[in-house]
């Protein structure tokens, strides 16, 4: 199956920091667990985690299906190095999701294909759904979740600040996340012949520490923008971003401790391919 063409302009390169990403590992992992609970595969032979990150959640796939061949794929060498060190019982490889879909591993057929908080980085990922379904064995399962909070203050304030001088010229081509509503994914996958279960959940993450919302976004959605800025501008940008986020997400006292509550909408999709 042919893949849609890549965008004419490649996004600015950036790297991932596993330590920063894992700062809120429990909160980031909960949607994965909720997604996995709706996958009905009993005894899959091949299970692949596309966009596996530091591998901790991929380990849950191996624990659920101990007889399966479980693989993790991520384009970040930093993330894969951490995954190989922390989860030696699973095989990991450095590869772009598109390249993996075009390769022999996808052509061989996968019984469970999982992608956790990854597709939002691909602006055209709706066009990739046929290839994702095409990588499934007959009756195979595709399960993914993406953030649905792109209009929340945590993202909107970042975009507004990045559009201001002197930052705009430096971050114009930094990649941004984006996703669709559950109904869009349901329609697209149903048209491909899949049985589809799609839903949305808004989590209320209770965060602690200094500027916790900034810590959260700087480990994921804001990281490409921050890395695109030159060193002499990054510090000022970060401080102004923290100031705006503190105003948008004020601290409150809950059960005697000071916390910040971060509403986080997530979009989930589980689809099963036709049996044949």
Question: Which tens digits make up the pLDDT trace of 226-245?
Answer: 888 999 999 999 999 999 99
Low-confidence ranges of the chain (pLDDT < 70): 1-25, 221
Look up the pTM and report it.
0.87
Give pLDDT, residue 87: 96
For residues 17 and 65, give the distance between their C-alpha atoms in angstroms, rounded to a whole number.
Answer: 29
Task: Tell me which residue of 60, 57, 51, 48 sits closest to 28, measured CA to CA.
Answer: 57
Tell me what pLDDT residue 15 has. Answer: 55
Residue 18: its pLDDT value, please?
Answer: 52
Residues 6+ apart with CB under 8 A from 266: 31, 145, 146, 147, 148, 149, 200, 201, 202, 203
Q: Which two tokens stand for residue 223?
A: 């990281």
Return the pLDDT at 8. Answer: 43
Report the relative pairing of strands 136-147 and 257-272 from DSSP bridges: antiparallel
Residue 56: strand, helix, or coil: helix
> Dihedrals φ, ψ of 46, to 5°?
-125, 130
Give me the residue spans of the domains in the chain.
18-272
The three-class DSSP label of residue 76 is coil
CA distance 141 to 274: 10
131, 66 contact by CB (below 8 A): no
What pLDDT, on a 0 to 100 scale, did the predictor assign at position 267?
Answer: 97
- Give the model's pLDDT for residue 123: 85
What's the chain's Rg over C-alpha atoms? Answer: 19
What would the two tokens of residue 14 be? 């950036």
Whole-angstrom distance, CA of residue 121 vs CA of residue 221: 9
Q: Residues 74-130: pLDDT tens digits?
A: 999 999 999 999 999 999 999 999 999 999 999 999 999 999 999 998 988 999 999
Those residues whose C-beta lies under 8 Å from the C-beta of residue 102, and which sit 6 or more positions away, are 3, 131
Q: Residue 22 has what pLDDT?
A: 46
User: Hey, is 74 helix, strand or coil?
Assistant: strand
User: What is the CATH code of the structural domain delimited by 18-272?
Assistant: 3.40.50.150
How far, rounded to the nearest angstrom, does the alpha carbon of residue 171 sit from its chain's CA centroid?
A: 21
């Amino acid at each position: 199956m042919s893949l849609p063409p890549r965008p004419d302009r490649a996004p600015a390169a950036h790297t991932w920091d596993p330590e920063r990403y894992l700062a809120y590992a429990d909160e980031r992992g909960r949607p994965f667990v909720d997604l996995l609970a709706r996958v009905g595969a009993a005894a899959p032979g091949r299970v692949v985690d596309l966009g596996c990150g530091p591998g901790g959640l991929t380990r849950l796939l191996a624990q659920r299906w101990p007889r399966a061949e479980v693989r993790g794929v991520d384009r970040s060498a930093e993330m894969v190095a951490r995954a190989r060190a922390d989860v030696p019982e699973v095989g990991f490889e450095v590869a772009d999701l598109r390249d993996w879909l075009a390769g022999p591993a996808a052509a061989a057929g996968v019984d469970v294909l999982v992608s956790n908080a990854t597709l939002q980085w691909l602006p055209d990922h709706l066009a990739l759904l046929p290839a994702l379904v095409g990588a499934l064995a007959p009756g195979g399962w595709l399960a993914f979740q993406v953030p649905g909070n792109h209009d929340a203050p945590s993202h909107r304030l970042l975009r507004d600040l990045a559009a201001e001088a002197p930052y705009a010229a430096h971050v114009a081509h930094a990649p941004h996340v984006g996703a669709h509503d559950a109904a869009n994914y349901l329609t697209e996958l149903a048209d491909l012949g899949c049985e589809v279960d799609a839903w949305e959940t808004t989590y209320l993450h209770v965060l602690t520490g200094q500027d916790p919302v900034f810590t959260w976004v700087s480990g994921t959605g804001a990281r490409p923008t921050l890395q695109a800025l030159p060193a002499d501008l990054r510090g000022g940008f970060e401080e102004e971003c923290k100031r705006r986020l503190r105003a948008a997400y004020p601290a409150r006292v809950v059960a005697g401790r000071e916390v910040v509550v971060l509403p986080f909408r997530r979009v989930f999709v589980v689809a099963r391919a036709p049996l044949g």
